[in-house]
Amino acid sequence: MALSLSEAGFARLFWRRSGRVAGGLLSLAITLLGLLAFTFLLSHLSPVDPVLQIAGDHASASTYAQVRHDLGLDQPVLMQFWHYITHLLSGDLGISRLTGQPVTDDLQRTFPATIELATCAMLFGSFFGILLALLAAWKPGSLLDNAARLISLLGYSVPVFWLGLLGLLLFYAVLHWSAGPGRLDDIWIYTLEPKTGLVLVDSWLSGDAEMFRNAIAHLWLPVVVLGLLSMAGITRLLRAALLEESNKEYVTLARAKGASRGRILLLHVFPNVRGTLITVLALSYATLLEGSVLTETVFAWPGVGRYMTTALFASDTPAILGSTLLIGGCFITLNALADGLTWLTDPRTR
């Protein structure tokens, strides 16, 4: 029986959407494969010899050759990369040469700390970034607009590590408003039962109010330092989108009808830039996940960024590749998710 017009239209729409999803998944896989190949090649160009790290500087030639064979470094680079991919497909990220533990276990231990820091910084940056962008677009060229532009410029210009060190000096060493580096004081760090890996949640579930306050005291300063970077990007991009949308004809018509500037901004202009806002928020969150390396290092935050930094200095290839795969996968997934949400919420993209 021949398909009706509605059935045929639905079939065409289904195959079109299926092809779009399949193409997106293939693009994600190719991007991750290219990222891994590039990182794998760079790790082999490192001047640090991993064999000497394991065998020692005074190892004999036979011991050196045996360790090199055990690590698979006596094979061509392409063959080493192929072996890594085959192990990766089975869920094996290798053994960290620095910790002696599976890289999967190390990432499961460190990634929640990065998620906690990046999520709190994202909430901080999103709230104040959207607020500043709305205030700037409300009265362009005013004192509020100039202040928002100055804050966003400073957020981009000031190095994160310098701001973190300055914050520790002022709020930890001088004013004692912050509890300093780390996630908890030593008195609680070994007594907290890790249920979720998120210190704020675990300390709240423990019922110890003092421990929870100590977790907040450790968290707020790195959150503010990292959140300023997010706030700067959100403010700048959202402000530009709001000002561009404010020049459309429907805004002029609404003003001619007597609608107030604030009403037009909140009820007409702001909903029409939701696609841009979704993209900005997703990319900002992905940037926080991958860009928290310096913040975690300054504040001794035991996350993936600090783990990756330590692995880079030690030329720990399995740890470097595992961290790169995790952060790169998060970045690509968030980007694809933003595209999908924009397509669903903004009919103009369809």
Q: What is the pLDDT of residues 224-265, one digit of tens each?
A: 999 998 999 999 999 999 999 988 888 888 888 888 888 888
Residue 272: pLDDT above 60?
A: yes
Does residue 94 belong to any structural domain of this protein? no
User: Do 150 and 29 reside in the same domain of the chain?
Assistant: no
Does residue 176 share a domain with residue 56? no
- According to the model, what pLDDT value does residue 217 have? 94
> 139 with 28, same domain?
no
**Is 150 buried (19+), middle (13-18) or exposed (0-12) by CB count in 10 A?**
exposed
Q: Which of 28, 121, 81, 96 is nearest to 329 (CA)?
A: 28
Q: Which two tokens stand for residue 118?
A: 């990046």
The count of residues in the chain is: 350
**Residue at which a domain ends, from 89, 118, 136:** 89
Q: What is the pLDDT of residue 5?
A: 47
The answer to whether residue 173 sits within a structural domain is yes
Confidence of residue 275 (pLDDT cuts 50, 70, 90): confident
d(CA 30, CA 34): 6
Q: What is the largest CA-CA distance in the chain?
A: 87
Give residue-wise pLDDT tens across range 58-96.
777 888 788 777 777 778 888 888 888 888 888 888 888
Residues 198 and 236 in one domain: yes
Query: Percent of the chain scored above 90 by pLDDT?
Result: 29
**Beta-bridge mates of residue 95:** 102
User: What is the enclosing helix (H) or strand (E) of 68?
Assistant: helix 61-70
CA distance 143 to 130: 17
- Residue 18: the pLDDT is 62
CB 310 within 8 A of CB 320: no
What is the DSSP code string of 138-152?
A: HSTTSHHHHHHHHHH
Q: Residue 238 and residue 104: Cα distance in Å, rounded?
A: 37
Domain that holds residue 240: 103-349
Same domain, 227 and 110: yes
Query: Could you tell me which of 1, 28, 3 has the C-alpha nearest to residue 13?
Result: 3
CA–CA gap between residue 242 and residue 251 (Å, rounded) = 11
> Is 153 a member of any domain?
yes
CATH of the domain at 211: 1.10.3720.10
- CA distances in angstroms from 148 to 65, 84, 134, 237, 311, listed in the order given: 61, 48, 10, 12, 39
- Residue 250 forms part of a structural domain: yes
In a domain, 97, yes or no: no
Q: How far apart are CA 150 and CA 143, in angstroms?
A: 10
Q: Are residues 10 and 149 in the same domain?
A: no
pLDDT for 311: 87
pLDDT at residue 292 above 80? no
Side chain identity at residue 310, one-letter code = T
Q: 163 and 33, same structural domain?
A: no
pLDDT in tens, 316-342: 888 888 888 888 888 888 888 888 887
d(C-alpha 262, C-alpha 312), whole Å: 50
């210190």: which residue's tokens? Answer: 199
Question: Based on the structure, what is the number of domains in the chain?
Answer: 2
Q: Are residues 43 and 179 in the same domain?
A: no
238: nearest Cα among 279, 190, 203:
279
Structure tokens at 262: 């604030």
Residue 276: inside a domain: yes
DSSP 3: P
Q: 192 and 130 share a domain?
A: yes
Answer yes or no: do 42 and 187 share one domain: no
Asked whether residue 7 carries a pLDDT value surpassing 80, the answer given is no
Q: Are residues 215 and 74 in the same domain?
A: no
Residue 96 lies in a domain: no
- Smallest Cα–Cα separation from 137: which of 234, 278, 269, 260? 269
Which of the listed residues 34, 60, 89 is the one where a domain comes to its end? 89
Whether residue 95 is contained in a domain is answered as no
Mapped onto helix, strand or coil, the DSSP state of residue 6 is helix
Rama region for 260: left / alpha / beta (φ>0; ψ in -120 to 50; rest): beta
| 210 and 277, same domain (yes or no) | yes
Cβ atoms of 172 and 221 within 8 Å: the answer is: yes
